[in-house]
Amino acid sequence: MKRLFAIVSAAAAILSVCSSAHAQEKVHYRATTFVMIPPDKQAAALELIRTAGVKLAQENINAGREVSWSMLRTVYSGVGAPYNFIQVINYDGPPPADLSPEARDKMVRKATGMSFEDYQKKLLSTATSINSVLSRVEESVPASSPGVGGYVRVLRWKLTPGREADYTNYIKTQTSVVEEGVKQGVFQSWSAARTVFPVGDNVAYDATTSFIYKDVAQVLSPPPANPNQGAPASFAKVFPDKSYSAYVDEGRQLRHLVRQELWRVVASAGPAAR
């Protein structure tokens, strides 16, 4: 946890990269740290995160080491989830190398007024890092990262072995369909990411898709009753010569849903922070 949850290290899926577009010139990465904060320590932890943590994250962003930073709290994650918060950092390219101890200490003191050791001690007294994931953002609808109060619905997928290239092409198609949903105000933005580390047969998931909403009312909006509206209509508009049912069937062949969760942003830093 000392390296992963300090916010100043290189590695900390979910949120959209601020400057990413449909066809990305750079490969963007996202680091997610899963965190457990006991109920009796949450008030103290959030106070530290919303003050010193945000300032330190913003300092990293101003230095060009990160694009955006967010801390999210679980809303619905299911019984037995070993985490209740996640820290998400987006990078404009690969994560940067760790700062030297001297440069790290200087940055922490400038941002927080505390030494690195004191900041770490406070952080570790309230929160425990459970695990971390580094992902590559493959596609996204251009949008700013969500501010405090925004919601993120995350779907975690296990891919069909040997169909990874087909899944990449499928996600490109999905991006075009999702763009229509954003235009219609169904959700604010969307992104798709592929896990870089850890990977293997025994990891929980290989990929994620994330939908960003402005509030819980938008999250819970019922789908259109008319089959000629919503996703089928968007697909027909973008791909008039293709079958929507075939597209849905292809998705079922390429991946299966492992878990779906809803998160709320409780702190953020970056160009869209508020």
Is 200 part of any domain?
A: yes
Residue 208 has pLDDT above 90, yes or no: yes
Which tokens hold the place of 97? 């190398």
What is the chain's Cα-based Rg? 19
Full residue range of the structural domain in which residue 59 is found: 1-268
How sure is the predictor about 227, in pLDDT bands with cuts at 50, 70 and 90? low
255: which strand partners? 159
Residue-level pLDDT at 129: 95
How crowded is residue 85: how many other Cβ atoms within 10 Å of its Cβ?
Answer: 22
How sure is the predictor about 12, in pLDDT bands with cuts at 50, 70 and 90? very low
Q: DSSP states of 180-212 as a string?
A: HHHHTTS-SEEEEEEEEES-STTSS-SEEEEEE
**CA 146 – CA 185 distance, rounded (Å):** 15
Is 182 part of any domain?
A: yes
The CATH number assigned to the domain holding 238 equals 3.30.70.100
Is 2 part of any domain?
A: yes
Is 222 part of any domain?
A: yes
How sure is the predictor about 193, in pLDDT bands with cuts at 50, 70 and 90? very high
Helix (H) or strand (E) holding 149: none
Is 274 part of any domain?
A: no
Is 273 part of any domain?
A: no
How sure is the predictor about 272, in pLDDT bands with cuts at 50, 70 and 90? very low
Domain total in the chain: 1
Q: What is the pLDDT of residues 77-100, one digit of tens each?
A: 888 889 999 999 999 999 999 999
Please provide the average confidence, as pLDDT, over all residues in the chain.
88
Q: Any residues with CB less than 8 A from the CB of 241 and at least 6 apart, and which?
A: none
